Amino acid sequence: MPVLLFLLFESIAVALWLTKNNIFYLFNFSYIGLSLSLGVLLFMRRYRHARRVVQLLVGLYMLLYLGLICRENMQIEGFWYYLFTGVFEAATIHYAVAKIFGPLIFGRGWCGYACWTAMVLDFLPYKTPAGPRKPIGWLRYVTFAASLVFVAALFLAHVGNIERIMFWAFVGGNVLYYAVGIALAVVCKDNRAFCKYLCPVTVLLKPMSYFSLVRITCNKEKCISCGKCKRVCPMDVDMTDNSRRRQNGTECILCLECVKHCPKNAL
Binding region for ligand SF4 (CB under 6 A): 111, 115, 117-118, 194-195, 199, 201-202, 216, 218, 223-229, 233-235, 237, 239-240, 252-258, 262, 264, 266-267
- By beta-carbon proximity to ligand SF4, the closer residue of 12 and 233 is 233
- Say how many CA atoms lie within 13 Å of 195 toward its Cβ: 26
Q: From CA 204, how far away is CA 195, in angstroms rounded? A: 13
Q: How far is the CB of 134 from ligand SF4 (least distance, A)?
A: 16
Distance in angstroms (rounded) separating the CA atoms of residues 100 and 206:
10
Count the Cβ atoms, other than its own, within 10 Å of residue 18.
11
Smallest gap from residue 122 Cβ to ligand SF4 (A): 9
Nearest residue (CB) to ligand SF4, 28 versus 117:
117
Which one, 5 or 199, has the nearer CB to ligand SF4?
199
Q: How far is the CB of 26 from ligand SF4 (least distance, A)?
A: 25
Cα distances from 90 to residues 7, 177, 239, 242, in angstroms, run 21, 21, 34, 36
Give the C-alpha separation, 132 to 135, whole Å: 9
Minimum distance, C-beta of residue 114 to ligand SF4, in the bound complex (Å): 8
Distance CA 262, CA 161 (A): 54
The residue ranges of DSSP E strands in the chain, in sequence order, are: none
Indicate the residue among 17 and 177 with the shorter CB distance to ligand SF4.
177
Quick check: 81 and 73 in contact, CB under 8 A?
Answer: yes
CB of 154 to ligand SF4, least distance (A): 23
Closer Cβ to ligand SF4, 50 or 239, answer by number: 239
Cβ proximity to ligand SF4: between 26 and 252 the closer is 252
Q: How far is the CB of 178 from ligand SF4 (least distance, A)?
A: 10
Min dist CB 199 to ligand SF4, Å, is 3
159 vs 226, beta carbon nearer ligand SF4: 226
CA angle 121, 47, 94 (to 5 degrees): 50
How would you label 130-159 residue by residue, b for 16+ Cβ within 10 Å and e otherwise? eeebeeeeeebeebbeebbebbeebeeeee
